[in-house]
Structure 1
């Protein structure tokens, strides 16, 4: 044992030579000399430096996710789950808003719209080309304001209509938009989704229910048009007006004057009010709910 203890320091202090030779000619290319403890210390130091550099590289780059993985706390996981849930909800809201705006454009042009259920059933089917005779409705400033109003999430359900929303529009008490003589009845067969009421010029036009004004502008075919969004996905339209006194986004009460009857637009044949009522994106006969 004493001889082994004395030989260990002697072994560590012994000098060694590392020679690099050519494989075929055995010509000496390089030579390194040093004590054994120097070689061991250098090897351990180099290994430690390599390990430290590797750890720093992994923790400070994207390799961390593949080697170590993401270690999220319970709060971070909960926040991430809520973020994904909000993203999914926003996608559904965006889809509903797109269908809603499309329906409004179709309502203005006098065509029946589609509901959200109809759109989900048609997603797997190929889209048909739009007929060539369908009018092109460009996006106006009022429609941009309408988009902002819809996307802002402003509530359209009015307190007085919360109970009516459960039983449908038959439980509403409608105001007659104007008094006059019916010159054209509602006819789904003829695609006349309205009641035409012949009146004198500048007769006041009243809102049939409380709601928000979604559209108030001039169109070439139907003149000055006002559209009001009521509760329970109910929309009323007032076309061929002489003028409109309400702005987009304003709240009106049932029976409040919103416009004056006139003879504007290419499709008008005289002073009258073209009144439409739409429920869940489909036209309904106003005669079934309103006494004109």
Structure 2
């Protein structure tokens, strides 16, 4: 077994000459001194380079749109626009429903016409999201830590300037 490894290693590093000849005149056009290890390294690097170039071409050009799973930027843009339009249409429909219900109340006599105002009805229909603007205990602790760090860093900068 060690003998075979030695023979393989020897074959890898044995110098060979690659000669290109003109077939009619047997004139030598050019020649190379190579070994199998050089050929293996050059072919491996060439393969890696080819894979990298192909990956970059697919990743950074419009060709990626032909790969299943990737959507085009135009399709994403259209989907976003449609989502925004559908959201605004939903709010518009809600406002119109509230307005129609208010008109029905006036027609049924449940509400006086003098109190009926389109702006006030639409203002009632708007949903005001509830937000908690009070800082939590964790946030207060973080603010205190940041203030301490800023005071320390500004104090050290003042000392360096002196």
TM range (shorter): 0.3 to 0.5
- Structure showing the higher strand proportion among its residues: 1
- Structure showing the higher helix proportion among its residues: 2
TM-score (ref. length: structure 1): 0.28
